[in-house]
Amino acid sequence: MELRTRALEVLRESDPDRKAEAATHLLAAARAWQRTPDASPDVTLNPALTLPTPADLPGRPARPRLVHPSKLPQRSPVSVEGRAALLHAICHIEFNAINLALDAVWRFPDMPAPFYLDWLQVAGEEALHFTLLRDHLATLGHAYGDFDAHNGLWIMTERTAHSVLARMALVPRTLEARGLDATPPIQTKLRQVGDTAAVAILDVILRDEVGHVAIGNRWFHWLCEREGIDPVTHYPELAQRHQAPLLRGPFNLPARRAAGFSEAELTALQAR
C-alpha cells in the first residue's frame, strides 16, 4: 500500500460508510508505518509521486441532493425534524472534510512526509465525526442523505487544486475554521432542547477541529516561510483571488488562538 495512492482510492469511494471505514483503516496503517517502518514493509509513502487526476472526484452518494446554499431551509433544533436537519448539515460537512483531507494527501507532491501523515490523521478523525453524527441521526429517525446539502467545501477544494499554499490558506484555516466559531452557539441550542448526546459529539468535533485548523496553520506558515511570503498580508490576496467567503463574527478567539492563529492574524480578521 502506497499511502498517497490509497488516499486517492478512498477519495473516489462513493459509499459514505465504506469511505469512513477505509479512511479509518488508512490512518491506522499510516500510524503503524510511522511508528515502525521496518515492521510495515507493505506500506510505503512516496512524496515524489505525481498521480493523474481522475474525472470522478470526489466519490459521493447520489443523496444528499446538492443545491445552492440559499435553497436550504432554516434548521431550528426545536423540533425533532429541525434538529435532524441541523445535525445532517454538520454530518455533511464532516463527510466532505474526509474528502478534503484525502485530497490534500494525494494531490500535492514533494511535501515533507509529516504533511501527508497530518492529513491522513485529519481524514481518520473526520471519519469518526461523520460516524458519530450518522449514528445519532439514526436515533432521530433519519440517515445521511435525507436532507438537501450544498457543495461549498468541495468548490473551494477545486479552486485551490493548483496550489498547496492556497489550499492551506483557504480550506482548513478559512472554511473549516468557521466551525470553531459556529459550534459553541449550536451546542447552546442543542443543550436547550435537551440533546445532550449531540452536545457531547460536538465536544469531540470541536476538540479535534482545533487540531485540524492548527495543522492548516502550521503548513500555511511553513509554506509562506519557504517562499518568503508574509502570511498576514498574503492571506487576503489569496482570499480575494479564489473568491473565499467573507468571514463574519463573532469569532471564537480562544479556539482560534489554540489553533495557531497569531494575534496579528486575529486583528486582521476582525478588521476585515
pLDDT in the model for residue 91 = 97
In a domain, 43, yes or no: no
Rg (CA), the chain: 18
Tens-digit pLDDT profile for residues 93-142: 999 999 999 999 999 999 999 999 999 999 999 999 999 999 999 999 99
In a domain, 45, yes or no: no
In a domain, 208, yes or no: yes
The residue-averaged pLDDT of 152-173 equals 95
pLDDT band at 40 (very low <50, low <70, confident <90, very high): confident
pLDDT band at 195 (very low <50, low <70, confident <90, very high): very high
Please tell me the pTM assigned to this model. 0.95
Tell me how many degrees the CA angle 86-189-201 measures, rounded to the nearest 5.
65
Residue 135 identity (one-letter amino acid): D
pLDDT band at 76 (very low <50, low <70, confident <90, very high): confident
Grid coordinates given for 57:
472526484
Range scoring the smallest mean pLDDT among 19-28, 66-75, 93-102, 175-184: 66-75
Which one, of 98, 95, 96, 124, lies nearest residue 31 by Cα?
124
In a domain, 66, yes or no: no
166/211 Cα distance (integer angstroms): 19
Q: How far are the Cα atoms of 77, 184, 211 from residue 16, in angstroms, in the given order?
A: 25, 26, 23
- How many structural domains is the chain composed of? 1
Distance of CA 26 to the CA centre of its chain: 16
- The count of C-alpha atoms lying within 13 angstroms of the C-alpha of 250, restricted to the half-sphere facing its C-beta, is 7
Residue 73 has pLDDT above 90, yes or no: no
Cis, peptide link before residue 254, omega less than 30° from 0: no
The residue-averaged pLDDT of 160-172 equals 97
The residue-averaged pLDDT of 262-267 equals 95
66/63 Cα distance (integer angstroms): 8
Handedness of CA 24, 30, 33, 39 (dihedral sign): positive
pLDDT band at 246 (very low <50, low <70, confident <90, very high): confident
Residue 41 has pLDDT above 90, yes or no: no
In a domain, 160, yes or no: yes
Residue 190 has pLDDT above 70, yes or no: yes
Helical spans, DSSP H, in 108-148: 113-139
Q: Kindly tell me the burial class for residue 29, based on how many C-beta atoms sit within 10 Å of its own C-beta (0-12, 13-18, 19 or more).
A: middle
Mean pLDDT of the chain, nearest integer: 95
- Which residues constitute the domain of residue 183? 3-35+74-271
Tens-digit pLDDT profile for residues 140-160: 999 999 999 999 889 999 999
Grid coordinates given for 39:
515492521
Classify 149 as helix, strand or coil: strand
pLDDT in the model for residue 74 = 80
pLDDT in the model for residue 39 = 66
Tens-digit pLDDT profile for residues 250-260: 999 999 999 99
Question: Which CATH number goes with the domain that contains 79?
Answer: 1.20.1260
In a domain, 225, yes or no: yes
In a domain, 68, yes or no: no
In a domain, 146, yes or no: yes
Max alpha carbon distance in the chain (Å)? 54
